Amino acid sequence: MKTQKLLLLIFFLNTTYLIFSQPYKNPNINIEKRINDLLSRMTLKEKIGQMQQYNFWKLDDATLKKVTEGKVGSFLNASNKKDKIKLQKAAIEKSRLGIPLIFGRDVIHGYKTILPIPLGEAATWNPELVKKGAEIAAQEATENNINWTFAPMIDIARDPRWGRIAESCGEDPFLAGTIGAAMIKGFQGNNLNDNSTIAACAKHYVGYGAAEGGRDYNTTLIPERELRNVYLKTFQTAVNSGVATLMSAFNDLNGVPASGNKFTLKKILRNEWNFNGFVVSDWEAISEMIKHGFAKDGNEAAFKAVDAGVNMEMVSENYANYLEKLINSHKVNGRWIDTLVAGILRIKFKLGLFDTPINSKPVSEFLPAQNKQIAKSIATESIVMLQNKNNTLPLKVSEINSLAVIGPLANSPKAQMGTWTLDGNPKDVITPLNAIKSEYGKKLKIYYSKAMESPRSTNKKLFKKAIQTAKKSDAVLLFLGEDEELSGETHCRAFLNLPGAQENLIIKLSKLNKPLILIIMAGRPLTFGNITNKVNSILYAWHPGTMGGEAISDIIFGKTSPSGKLPVTFPRTVGQIPLYYNHKNTGRPPSPNQLGRVLGTPVNPKGYASYYLDVDYTPAYYFGYGESYSSFNYSDLTLSKKIIDFNDTLKVSVIVKNTGKYKAKETIQLYIRDLYASVTRPVKELKRFKKAEFIPGETKTIHFKLTVDDFKFYDINMKYNAEPGDFVLFVGSSANDKDLLKSNFTLTKY
């Protein structure tokens, strides 16, 4: 017993000595002091080691040797928990200074419990619900010692051909910024030191969503004013929300690759926004600057990336190979390296990795019931009803005896999860077919036909069985769209129609004159205007994740009313792209009656306007659009003042009434238009929204507040100002003028 006490005393004294002799190990000391102390002890090689992130291939002696020598700051995709523990122990117990590793993973829309794709999450217009989704993703990921996610992706996405629109939060800076901030808060919580939170990474900084032609990794040309007024806004919101890290993008932005762009990374991010976290490059993006023609070789690529302010290099090894030489030759300032390394250490300290680096608790085998319920709620609110002729939906069990469930996506767990689901298990997925059978199998005869081998199949050999299945049923549910391989990184499409023989299947089934409900699962907006008259109802379910089947079933049978609203404009045809609601006006805007009509001549250009001869200038579905089983009436739009100055708060109210028969949620949207300014302004800009639930007959007064900050933009002199002038304010259910009430006000300086 005396020996044990003596050993404990010795351990305590040793620990105390280490804490006081090495302040960076003392959790009671201010983080900045801990960083400075640690930096003062680090060799140049150790500093460069912190700036290197490797993809984990396998746990071998060579990998462990790099860790113990202090040559690794982070791993991404480290496999199982056992390997992570071995790697972390090597870092903290065998490296000279015991600096812990940070483990990154693409936890994009859920970890094991898969949520709808981010574009679907944005369709909820419910930040609080999205936050809860990120919270459960963080909880599940931290169980496996993951402490950093490469999300949210908050690129403004105006081109549905781009495969990565699935990962985005849509086309609008305010909505995408709000949803992205909710994800950040969910991932990071109130304190990164909590054992159930992870560091978020806002990506891809910046302009990646504007790639030419919707082709991944492609050139982006964005004037500075447009960059600041649109594409940078979501990232500024993320920084203001406390995001721990950012990821520099693959793209060339106005001739300068994003991972070597001093203007965006140093001038704006650090000097203007005072960001003090760290920036990681995208996968080998620093090396790719050579292919861009921006760097001659790895040495120059390393210099340009570090000079711009990329703290950590992902996968490629230009920093590891060339930074020491660049610093010793005084081409790179050693103090700047200290600043970049401090950014990395700061996040590691905030995560508590120096104090409790290892979680040894076993990983849960089953999905928690609470997590599944949250995933279901998000999926339910993400589903957008685009059409409901003759109130075909919801289906009433009392009015039908049989139901046909048809289509390759009715029972496809992997497709239902969507892109970027590295850790989701298809066995956990509840498909629509299984959800409907489970809930209604004893009340209805349910017939199933796959109809197509895959969503991309052009073979019609299974059509006959599908038609027979539909013939013996009272109503038909048709599940079509894209599988998971048709969206995501590099999965860009030149055409956006329903793939394979899907349209042909719809046409054949429509001839049976059965109630035909089309449920589309997809990672992007699709074009399907030529078949909308063939079906009664259309539900857009995105890729809805683990609990998508139950969510779809509940909406189809009226357990809940659809409440999703589009976070992105749906074009009628690819030829309209780019098409987005917050566009600029022209000197000759189109009129509703101009389709196919040339009203004038070059001598007398009456009616010459900005439109196509062969397609309506309007979208198929407007930003913010989404139908409900109920109906809502907007009235009495009231502004507190018609003339406000820069110090005023404009109070806005509108009365909304549920005039239908169903309990339902409605998203009330507020837009403004600056009628004239030193530079042209968009025809509408979303500034506020609120989602509220109404029982039948209920009336609510919805309130909003706007201040001068809501009217600011980068003006003719590239200054961020509001300008006096006249404005239109809109409130309603979508960005379509027909769905909006309008009022005018004037902003004066004094």
H or E element in which residue 340 lies: helix 334-350
Euclidean distance between CA atoms 14 and 19, whole angstroms: 9
Catalytic residues: 282
Helix, strand, coil in percent for the chain, rounding step 5: 35, 20, 45
CA atoms 326, 328, 331, 337: torsion sign: positive
Packed helices 463-471 and 502-510: angle between N→C axes, nearest 10 degrees: 30
Q: How far apart are the first and last CA of the chain?
A: 81
Euclidean distance between CA atoms 369 and 324, whole angstroms: 51
Rg (CA), the chain: 28
Euclidean distance between CA atoms 303 and 298, whole angstroms: 8
Beta bridge partners of 148: 104, 199
What are the angstrom distances between the C-alpha of 692 and each of 76, 129, 629, 663, 666? 40, 13, 15, 11, 6
Q: Is 699 helix (H, G, I), strand (E, B) or coil?
A: strand
What are the angstrom distances between the C-alpha of 295 and each of 260, 278, 292? 9, 23, 8
Q: Is 545 helix (H, G, I), strand (E, B) or coil?
A: coil
Q: Is 258 helix (H, G, I), strand (E, B) or coil?
A: helix
Q: CB under 8 Å to 436, separation ≥6 — which residues?
A: 403, 405, 446, 477, 549, 553, 556
H or E element in which residue 130 lies: helix 127-143
Question: Do the Cβ atoms of 542 and 418 come closer than 8 Å?
Answer: yes
The DSSP symbol for 584 reads B
Beta bridge partners of 635: 655
Question: Do the Cβ atoms of 510 and 502 come closer than 8 Å?
Answer: no
